Structure 1
Amino acid sequence: MKFIYIPTIFISFLFFSCEDKLDIIPETEIGRDGFFQSASEIEQVVSGAYNGLQSDGLYGFNIPFLGELRSDNTYEEALSNNNGDYGQIDVFDLSSINPVLDQTWKDAYVCIQQCNIVLNRIEKIPNIKQEIKNSRTGEVLFIRALTYFNLVRLFGDIPLVTKETTDPNTFFGQGRTPVSEIYNQIISDLTEAISKLPATQSQAGRATNGAANALLGKVHLTLGNYAQAITNLNNVSGYSLLPDYADIFSIENENNAESIFEVQFKRGVNNAEEGSPYATIFRVSGTVAGARGNNHPTQDLYDAFETGDVRRDASIGQEKGVRYTLKYIDPGMTVAQDGENNVIVIRYADVLLMLAEALNEQGYQANGRAFDLLNQIRNRAGLTSLNATNLPDKESFRAHIANERRVELNLENHRWFDLVRTGKAVETMNAHNSESGDFTIDNNKLLYPIPQSQINTDNSITQNPGY
Structure 2
Amino acid sequence: MKNIRYKHILPIALLSSALLATSCEKFVELGAPPTQVLLDDAFSTDASARSVILGLYVSTVNTNISGTTTFYSGIAADDLQYNAADASLLEFANNGLLNTNSYVNNLWANLYQLVKNTNNSIVGLERSATLTPAVKDQLIGEAKFMRAYAYLYLVNLYGDVPLHLKSDLEIFDEASLGRTAVDAVYSQITADLLDAESKLAAAYEGTFRARVNKHAASALLARVYLYRGDYANAEIYASKVLQESMYSLPAATSNFTNTSTEIIFQLANLSGITVFATNYITLPTVIPAYSLPNAVYDSFETTPTVDLRKTTWVSPKTVSNKAYYAITKYKATAGTGNEYHVVLRLAEQYLIRAEARANRNNLSGAKADIDAVRSRAGLSALPANLTQAQLLSAIETERLHEFFGEYAHRWLDLKRTNRATAVLSPVKANWQATDVLFPIPNAQIVVNGNLTQNPGYND
Q: Which residue of 1 aligns with 2:226?
A: 221
User: How far does residue 7 in structure 1 lie from its aligned partner after superposition?
Assistant: 4.3
Q: Note closer, same or farther for the CA distance 1:35–1:136 as it changes in structure 2 (3 Å cut).
A: closer
SS at match of 1:306: coil
Alignment CA distance shift 1:429-1:405 (3 Å): same
Q: Does 1:134 align with 2:129?
A: no
User: 1:421 maps to what in 2?
Assistant: 416
Q: 1:177 to 1:57 in 2, by over 3 A?
A: farther
2:409 is equivalent to residue 411 of structure 1: no
| Number of the residue aligned with 2:350 | 352
Residue from 130, 151, 154 that aligns with 1:151: 154
Q: For the Cα contact (< 8 Å) 2:274–2:339, is it kept in 1?
A: yes
- Checking the alignment, whether the CA contact within 8 Å between 1:240 and 1:258 is kept in structure 2 is yes
Question: Given the alignment of the two structures, is residue 446 of structure 1 paired with residue 436 of structure 2, yes or no?
Answer: yes
Matched residue of 2:131: which SS? Answer: coil
Counterpart position of 1:375: 371
How many Å apart are 1:309 and its aligned residue? 0.8
Taking the TM superposition and a 5 Å limit, the aligned residue runs for 1:174-189 are 174-189=177-192
Determine the C-alpha separation between the residues in 1 that align with 2:406 and 2:31.
29
Answer yes or no: is the 8 Å Cα contact 1:65–1:86 preserved in 2: no
Q: Which residue of 1 aligns with 2:71?
A: 65
The aligned amino acid for 1:325 is I
- Name the CA distance, whole Å, in 2 between partners of 1:76 and 1:379: 31
For the residue of structure 1 that corresponds to 2:372, the secondary structure is: helix
- Report the Cα distance in structure 1 between the residues aligned to 2:50 and 2:24, rounded to whole angstroms: 15
Asked whether 1:171 is paired with 2:170, we answer no
User: Contact between 1:45 and 1:117, CA under 8 Å: does it hold in 2?
Assistant: no
Give the drift of 1:127. Answer: 4.5
CA contact (8 A) 1:266 1:341 kept: no
Deviation at 1:214, TM superposition (A): 0.9
Cα distance change on mapping 1:38 and 1:240 into 2, 3 Å: closer
Give the paired residue count. 431
Identity score, percent:
28
Deviation at 1:128, TM superposition (A): 2.9
Give the aligned partner of residue 460 of structure 1: 450
Q: Could you say if the C-alpha distance between residues 14 and 138 of structure 1 is closer, same or farther in structure 2, counting changes exceeding 3 Å?
A: farther
Q: Normalising by the residue count of structure 2, what TM-score does the alignment of the two structures yield? A: 0.87
Equivalence map 1:322-333=2 (5 Å): 322-331=324-333, 333=334
Matching of residues 43-442 of structure 1 within 5 Å: 43-59=50-66, 61-78=67-84, 80-81=85-86, 84-166=87-169, 168-203=171-206, 204-236=209-241, 237-238=243-244, 239-250=246-257, 254-267=258-271, 276-284=274-282, 293-307=288-302, 308-319=306-317, 320=319, 321-331=323-333, 333-334=334-335, 341-365=339-363, 368-389=364-385, 391=386, 393-413=387-407, 414-432=409-427, 438-442=428-432
On the 8 A contact 1:57/1:103 being kept in 2, the answer is no
Compared with structure 1, are the counterparts of its residues 41 and 47 closer, same or farther at alpha carbon in structure 2 (3 Å cutoff)?
same
8 Å Cα contact 1:282/1:295 also seen in 2: yes
What are the Cα deviations for residues 78-125 of structure 1, in whole angstroms up to 9, with x where unaligned? 2x13xx222211110111221211111111111111111221111443
Distance in 2 of aligned mates of 1:381 and 1:344: 18
CA RMSD of aligned residues (A): 2.7
How many Å separate the matches in 2 of 1:405 and 1:34? 46
The one-letter code sitting in structure 1 at the alignment partner of 2:169 is T
Letter in 1 for 2:367: F
Distance 2:388 2:339 in 1: 38
SS at match of 2:255: helix
* Contact residue 352 and residue 373 of structure 1 kept, 8 A: yes
Q: 1:133 to 1:168 in 2, by over 3 A?
A: closer
How far the C-alpha of 1:44 sits from its partner, in A, is: 2.2
Deviates more, 1:232-241 or 1:39-48: 232-241
> Which runs of 5 or more residues in structure 1 are unaligned?
269-274, 433-437
Q: Which residue of 1 aligns with 2:18?
A: 8
Residues 158 and 440, structure 2, Cα contact 8 Å, conserved in 1:
yes
Answer yes or no: is the 8 Å Cα contact 1:76–1:296 preserved in 2. Answer: yes
- Residues 313 and 329 in structure 2, CA contact (< 8 A), matched pair in contact too: yes
Q: Partner letter of residue 397 of structure 1?
A: L
Distance 1:277 1:340, change over 3 A: farther
Partner of 1:160, secondary structure, is coil
Contact 1:221 / 1:354 at 8 angstroms: preserved in 2?
yes
For residues 151-207 of structure 1, the C-alpha deviation after alignment (integer angstroms, 9 at most, x for no partner) is: 100000111011112254432332111111100000100111111111121313111
Structure 2 CA distance for aligned equivalents of residues 304 and 162 of structure 1: 44
Q: Give the Cα–Cα distance (whole angstroms) in 1 for the partners of residues 171 and 124 of structure 2.
A: 18
CA change 1:159–1:24 in 2 (3 A) is farther
Counterpart CA distance in 2 for 1:376 and 1:148 is: 31
2:226 alignment partner, SS class:
helix
What TM-score comes out, normalization by structure 1 length? 0.85
What CA deviation, in whole Å up to 9, does each residue of 1:219-249 have, x standing for no partner?
1110111111111111113244334112112
Long gaps (5+) in structure 2 = 1-14
